[in-house]
């Protein structure tokens, strides 16, 4: 199957209410362009340098999402153009994003990354940290930040019930935060190639899919 038909298949499976972020990390610009030509406009990258390179090389109507961990000292490189930052995991990072967004006269849309997996390597806030941050006056005082929702990654495991439980816990937390948040707190980014079906069943509104579109990545 080629990229266009894989995208078509994914769209049919996910329906209209779920936004597809095509994760193009490690794939060269000409391959990304094949997905673009098939109609895909939202792409996700996990590294700042690669994101900036592809932004330069590819059509300007692409909506670029940064899905990976972001270091404070690299915010300035993505601040002029990035549509959504998925993995905000500290107040320090938010402050820097607010500052750089202001310099660019932008309001930067962000998701808070919440830790739901059992692995120790995954970044993110725990539920109480995320709740604290969302309620903080410091956040209210950042005019150039708009928190659109939450992002989470399930444990990398064959145990589907565990994955389901983790996604479900994030959805419950998301709904709880939604009751006090602003109206545009409405994005729940969860689900990758291996688990997007479960994620959608558990209430995901945005999936980040790479290998199911572009094929396996080289290690
Ligand atoms: C790589 C990556 C994905 C996509 O992974 P696939 O398994 O290839 O779909 C999704 N989210 C994040 C944060 C990633 O780094």
Please report the pLDDT score of residue 68 as a whole number: 96
Q: What is the position in ligand 1's atom list of the atom closest to the CA of 87? A: 13
Q: Buried (b) or exposed (e) across 67-87, using 16+ Cβ within 10 A?
A: bbbbeeebbebbbebbbbbbb
Residue 104 Cα to ligand 1 middle (Å) = 28
Residue 192 Cα to ligand 1 middle (Å) = 6
Over residues 132-168, the pLDDT tens digits come to 999 999 999 999 999 999 999 999 999 999 999 999 9
- Which of 24, 69, 210, 214 for mutating ligand 1's site (highest number of atoms within 8 Å of CB)? 210
Residue labelled with tokens 């956040």:
139
Residue by residue, DSSP assigns 149-181 as EEEEE--SSS-HHHHHHHHHHHHHHHHHHHTTS
- pTM attached to this predicted model: 0.96
What does R_g of the chain's alpha carbons equal in angstroms?
Answer: 17
Residue whose CA lies nearest to ligand 1 atom number 11: 208
Distance of CA 72 to the CA centre of its chain: 17
Residue 105 Cα to ligand 1 middle (Å) = 30
Please report the pLDDT score of residue 184 as a whole number: 95
Residue 136 Cα to ligand 1 middle (Å) = 30
Using CB distances shorter than 6 Å, the residues near ligand 1 are 23, 25, 46, 67-68, 192-194, 208-212
Handedness of CA 117, 86, 69, 144 (dihedral sign): negative
Residue by residue, DSSP assigns 116-133 as -SS-SS---B-HHHHHHH
Opening angle at CA 65, ends 62 and 71, nearest 5: 135
Please report the pLDDT score of residue 63 as a whole number: 98
List the chain residues with pLDDT less than 70.
121-122, 219
Please report the pLDDT score of residue 30 as a whole number: 96
Residue whose CA lies nearest to ligand 1 atom number 7: 193
């Amino acid at each position: 199957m080629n990229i266009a038909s894989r995208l078509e298949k994914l769209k049919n499976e996910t329906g209209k209410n779920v936004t597809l972020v095509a994760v193009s990390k490690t794939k060269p610009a000409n391959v990304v362009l094949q997905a673009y030509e098939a109609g895909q406009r939202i792409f996700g990258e996990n590294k700042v340098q690669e994101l900036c390179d592809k932004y330069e090389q590819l059509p300007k109507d692409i909506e670029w999402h940064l899905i990976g961990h972001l270091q404070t000292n690299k915010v300035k490189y993505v601040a002029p153009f990035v549509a959504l930052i998925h993995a905000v995991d500290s107040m320090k990072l938010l402050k820097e994003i607010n500052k750089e967004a202001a310099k660019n006269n932008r309001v930067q849309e962000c998701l808070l990354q919440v830790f739901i997996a059992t692995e120790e390597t995954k970044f993110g806030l725990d539920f109480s940290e995320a709740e604290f941050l969302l309620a903080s006056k410091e956040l209210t005082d950042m005019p150039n930040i708009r928190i659109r929702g939450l992002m989470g990654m399930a444990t990398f495991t064959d145990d589907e019930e565990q994955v389901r439980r983790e996604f479900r816990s994030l959805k419950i937390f998301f709904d709880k935060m939604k009751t006090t948040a602003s109206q545009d707190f409405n994005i729940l980014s969860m689900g990758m190639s291996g688990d997007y079906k479960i994620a959608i069943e558990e209430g995901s509104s945005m999936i980040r899919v790479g290998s199911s579109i572009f094929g396996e990545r080289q290690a």
